[in-house]
């Protein structure tokens, strides 16, 4: 079967890898000059299976109100006349009940835990490296209330078999020795020893090279996808800046831009672009830098270690497709990295970046079939798209082949929004 994959972010390239590994002829299209040049370029670098949690959680509507008046808030909303933003916020708030949170968390952890197995196997099978580390993630708490709140998540983690341990303030240094330099700042933390770290852009580039060289995948860059045309319940062709292209099957991996092309096919994808920012700075003192990923729960900022760089990522801004780099947001993530690892990196040489998380209101990706026989979706991975990419792509390839997948696909396809 010839499969046309639309989009060469981390989700498109992992989809290409599993589909080509199963013997399909695969072509990948993207408007950029190479793989992972949009949201998959500068993310926070956490491959955090155990940390997969919906943003829509009980108490969030109240916190969102409070954040509106805080300087360094994790969520910012730019008031715009944007019906899509209003719909997204309503749908997200509807997912903030304890019942919906439990359903959504289980779905995310199901995909994420499977992703852990898949990425470990992928590293073994391809030999690719991407400044990766397998040393866990530490969620840091500044307040006792955060420690109390995490006990609910720990119950779900136990049910899903995810290893975790609550650390006291004194024990934090066993996971991240540099925290000894900021005593008294944190009251405890949750350690997830099986989580991982690495550079998503490097991962996607190297996997794309492997796909091209070892599996015969064709990548066509600088191609703008303009329209998808249907005929009697099937997709007939994709209209692009390089002309009309057809295949036996089509997979949409366009991240935040997926809903725009699905509209004409009468498929409503509730994906909204949630803007985030990152800084990348060179390490100047290894002993003062993180060894893996830490997540500052108060500011929802993640700080990850690559070989000789530190990546800091965070903030969520609802501002439609605007990609301007706002200095106010830079100030927030700079403040957090200075506060937690004051001697680790060289802030004067930091690179500032922004990207659009393809968020669904239930934080769960959309993976699987559509009403068109030959159109498949693998999109909407939101906050943890790299973390969930390998499991999502493997699941999709199995579903497309009519194989029994390793995890239950229930509740993951777009049909869940019709229910
Ligand atoms: C600040 C920040 C921090 C993050 N931190 C983490 C993290 O630590 N861990 C984690 O797991 N996830 C993280 N994420 C989320 C993760 O980066 C995304 O979920 C993931 O990159 C989405 O991948 P994607 O392939 O779906 O989308 P993208 O990478 O955006 O890929 C979509 C592709 O489609 C192409 N495209 C779109 N429209 C068209 C068109 N019309 N024609 C041709 N091509 C088109 C684009 O060029 C792009 O290459 C973070 C995100 C942000 C913004």
Q: Which atom of ligand 1 is nearest to the CA of 378?
A: 26
Q: What is the DSSP letter of 52?
A: -
Strand partners, 219: 28
Nearest CA to ligand 1 atom 35: 7
CA dihedral over 188, 277, 100, 380, signed as positive or negative: negative
| Phi and psi torsions of 119, nearest 5° | -70, -35
Q: From the CB of 51, is ligand 1 less than 6 Å away? A: no
Structure tokens at 351: 């690179």
> Which protein residue's CA is at the shortest distance from atom 37 of ligand 1?
254
Q: Are 42 and 352 in contact (CB under 8 A)?
A: no
pTM: 0.96
pLDDT at position 419, please?
A: 64
Pairing type for strands 249-252 and 375-379 reads parallel
pLDDT digits (tens, 9 = 90+) for 326-382: 999 999 999 999 999 999 999 999 999 999 999 999 999 999 999 999 999 999 999
Index of the ligand 1 atom closest to the CA of residue 224: 42
Q: How far apart are CA 51 and CA 78, in angstroms?
A: 27
**Spatial separation of the C-alpha atoms in residues 227 and 165, rounded to whole Å:** 49
**Where, residue-wise, is CATH 3.50.50.60 in the chain?**
2-40+202-270+363-417
Predicted local confidence at residue 396, as pLDDT: 98
Of 207, 355, 366, 378, which is best to mutate to test ligand 1, by the most ligand atoms within 8 angstroms of its C-beta? 355
- CATH 3.30.9.10 maps onto the chain at 47-96+132-196+272-359
Q: Which two tokens mark 67?
A: 């954040």
Specify the CATH class of 2-40+202-270+363-417 in words. alpha beta
Neighbours of 172 (CB within 10 A): 24
124 CB-near residues (< 8 Å, 6+ apart): none
Show the CA angle centred on residue 56, arms to residues 353 and 148, nearest 5°.
100
The model's pLDDT over 250-290, given as tens digits with 9 standing for 90+, comes to: 999 999 999 999 999 999 999 999 999 999 999 999 999 99
CA–CA separation, 281 and 338 (whole Å): 12
Give the distance (Å) from ligand 1 centre to CA of residue 174: 33
| Closest C-alpha to ligand 1, atom 16 | 385
- Residue 282 Cα, ligand 1 centroid: separation in angstroms? 24
Flag residues of the chain having pLDDT under 50: none
CB 351 within 8 A of CB 76: no
Residue 225 to residues 40, 258, 264, Cα–Cα distance (Å): 19, 11, 13
How many whole angstroms separate alpha carbon 56 and alpha carbon 101?
7
What's the pLDDT score for residue 252? Answer: 98
Beta bridge partners of 277: 314, 354
If you classify domain 47-96+132-196+272-359 with CATH, what class do you get?
Answer: alpha beta
- Closest protein CA for atom 40 of ligand 1: 225
């Amino acid at each position: 079967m010839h499969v046309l994959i639309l989009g060469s972010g981390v989700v498109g390239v992992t989809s290409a890898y599993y589909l080509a590994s199963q013997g399909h002829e695969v072509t990948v299209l993207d408007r950029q000059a190479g793989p992972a040049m949009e949201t998959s370029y500068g993310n926070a670098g956490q491959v955090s299976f155990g940390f997969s949690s919906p943003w829509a959680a009980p108490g969030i509507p109240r916190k969102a109100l409070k954040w509106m008046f805080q300087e360094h808030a994790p969520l910012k909303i730019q008031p715009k006349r944007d019906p899509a933003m209003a719909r997204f916020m309503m749908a997200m708030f509807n997912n903030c009940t304890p019942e919906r949170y439990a359903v959504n968390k289980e779905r995310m952890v199901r995909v994420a835990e499977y992703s852990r197995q898949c990425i470990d196997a992928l590293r073994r099978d391809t030999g690719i490296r991407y400044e990766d580390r397998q040393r866990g993630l530490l969620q840091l708490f500044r307040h006792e209330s955060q420690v109390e709140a995490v006990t609910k998540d720990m119950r779900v983690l136990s049910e899903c078999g995810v290893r975790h341990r609550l650390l006291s303030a004194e024990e934090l240094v066993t996971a991240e020795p540099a925290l000894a330099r900021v005593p008294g700042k944190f009251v405890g933390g949750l350690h997830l020893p099986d989580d991982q770290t690495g550079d998503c852009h490097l991962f996607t580039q190297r996997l794309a090279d492997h796909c091209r060289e070892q599996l015969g995948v064709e990548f066509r860059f600088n191609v703008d996808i303009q329209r998808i045309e249907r005929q009697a319940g099937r997709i007939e062709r994709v209209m692009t800046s390089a002309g009309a292209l057809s295949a036996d099957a089509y997979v949409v991996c366009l991240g935040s831009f997926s809903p725009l092309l699905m509209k004409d096919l009468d498929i409503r994808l509730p994906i909204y672009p949630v803007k985030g920012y990152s800084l990348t700075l060179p390490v100047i003192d290894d002993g003062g830098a993180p060894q893996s990923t830490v997540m500052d729960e108060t500011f929802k900022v993640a700080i990850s270690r690559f070989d000789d760089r530190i990546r800091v990522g965070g903030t969520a801004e609802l501002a439609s497709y605007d990609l301007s780099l706002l200095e106010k947001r830079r100030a927030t993530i700079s403040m957090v990295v200075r506060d937690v690892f004051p001697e680790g990196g060289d802030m004067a040489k930091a690179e500032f970046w922004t990207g659009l998380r393809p968020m669904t209101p239930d934080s769960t990706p959309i993976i699987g079939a559509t009403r068109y026989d030959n159109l498949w979706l693998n999109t909407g991975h939101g906050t943890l798209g790299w973390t969930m990419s390998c499991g999502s792509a493997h699941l999709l390839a199995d579903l497309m082949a009519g194989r029994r997948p390793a995890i239950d696909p229930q509740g993951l396809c777009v049909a869940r929004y019709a229910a």
